[in-house]
Structure formats: structure tokens, C-alpha cells
Amino acid sequence: MAPRATKAQEIFDAMPGRLLPEQAGDLNATILFELTGEGGGEWSLTLANRQATVVAGAAPNPATTFSASASDYVAIINGDLNPMQAFMQGKVKVKGDMSLAIRLTSLFKRD
């Protein structure tokens, strides 16, 4: 089992190595994460050519934008907070391509 993340930055640092290329297929999209509170910030995840690239800061024209507190995002990644429940409770907001947002959970190793 993978170690539990304690900070959002750890999650974004690990993302490229955790992508499941066969699940990504021909996906070509950029997703912006806007995380508030302690340890928050903006990160842009680009999926292209079966690879993931993460950079700090906001990319122009993302296909999907996730907004949440950094602590809620870490809880979702650690499996302590159900992403759908968090969305329904307003803890997570999604702008743009909702199907991409839903697909995102299947693109990365969870172990």
C-alpha cells in the first residue's frame, strides 16, 4: 500500500509516475486544481501521449477545473473522503468537462 499523502504537493509530485497509460489512451486534456487553505495553491495536470505532466500554476483554458480545500483534496486521495459525496456536499466544485472529472479517478494507481 502506498504511503498516505500529508500534503497536496506530495500528490502532484507523484502524479506523473502513478498514471496508468493504458487507461489514459488518447486522452489529451489539461485539468486545473485550485486548492485553498494551508498547503493549497494551483496546479495544472496535462494528460497527453499517455503521459501526465504537472506544473505549479494555472494553465490557460483548462478542460476541467477542480476547486476544493487542500485538506479535503488530500482526504479524497487518501480514501478518507468519498469524491462524489464531497461534490454533493459542496466541498468540491467542478467547472468544465464533468465526464473528464469522473474519468480522472480511474487514470491513476491507487494502491
The dihedrals phi and psi of 41, each to the nearest 5 degrees, come to: 155, -165
From its phi and psi, is residue 82 left (phi > 0), alpha (psi between -120 and 50) or beta?
beta
5-19, 47-61, 97-111: lowest mean pLDDT where?
Answer: 97-111
Is the confidence at residue 18, as pLDDT, over 50?
yes
C-alpha cell recorded at residue 61: 483554458
In CATH, what number does 8-104 get? 3.30.1050.10
* Contact residues for 12 (Cβ-Cβ < 8 A; gap 6+): 33, 43, 45, 54, 56
- Residue 28 host element (H or E): none
- pTM to 2 decimal places: 0.93
